Amino acid sequence: MPKPIIAIPADIREFDGTSWHAAQNQYVRAALKVADVMSFIIPAFEAGNDTDALLDRVDGLLVSGSATNVHPSLYGGEVRESDGPFDPARDATTLPMIRRAIERGIPLLAICRGIQELNVALGGTLATEIQEQEGVWDHRKPQHADRDVMYSIRQDVVVAEGSCIARYLGTGRIPVNSLHRQAISKTAPSLQVEAIADDGTIEAVSVIGAKGFAIGVQWHPEYWAESDKPSRALFEAFGDAVRDYVKARG
């Protein structure tokens, strides 16, 4: 059986005075090496993408993390430049793809910015600069020259009993590398909270009544997917769901 192919929507990045459609290596590598699937990088445009035509050609959707944030206008939030940087082309690409992937039963794994996009796509809201809220930890990425230190596994999340991700990770406390300035505020009506941090921050969700695998996590399983057991388990489960989708589709 040929390897299935998943879509990874691109970020817009500026290099050498021009715009690039880019995806981080960690996500593409984790998809290939652990989920055992190949990837198409989907160009990000504010208009012109045919969402169904793109999804017709893939077997899964991986929505990655990013240095940019979802634009507040998409969830009724106050627009402050300090909450950026923003990437409106990515927003316009990912939100329709998320909604249609769920409707069509295409396996979906949303990571970091991805879980926030998933929540906004389904009608939820986000909290910005959460480290400024009373009782909330500073979840931001530490500044360090060594990326392994920056992305080190340093906090626990509590996985709810009976949740979807408990099938793959087990219940109770799981050590993760959760790095973010924003988080889910109002949970979308069709999302179920799967895991939380000790400060109450929502760290994982699933789509209620989804036809297939549809999970979002706030942490970064892609970074240690080849060596960390919970990270590997999540990517392997996504890969299995993609292969099941291919078989069911015939």
Residues annotated catalytic, as ranges: 112, 220, 222
Segment holding 63, helix H or strand E: strand 60-63
Q: How far, rounded to the nearest angstrom, does the alpha carbon of residue 224 sit from its chain's CA centroid?
A: 15
What would the two tokens of residue 95 be? 């939100």
As a whole number of angstroms, the distance between CA 158 and CA 176 comes to 10
Segment holding 164, helix H or strand E: none
Look at the chain and count its residues.
Answer: 250
As a whole number of angstroms, the distance between CA 183 and CA 117 comes to 10
DSSP string, 79-147: --GGG--B-HHHHHHHHHHHHHHHHHT--EEEETHHHHHHHHHTT--EESSGGGSTT----SPPP-S-H
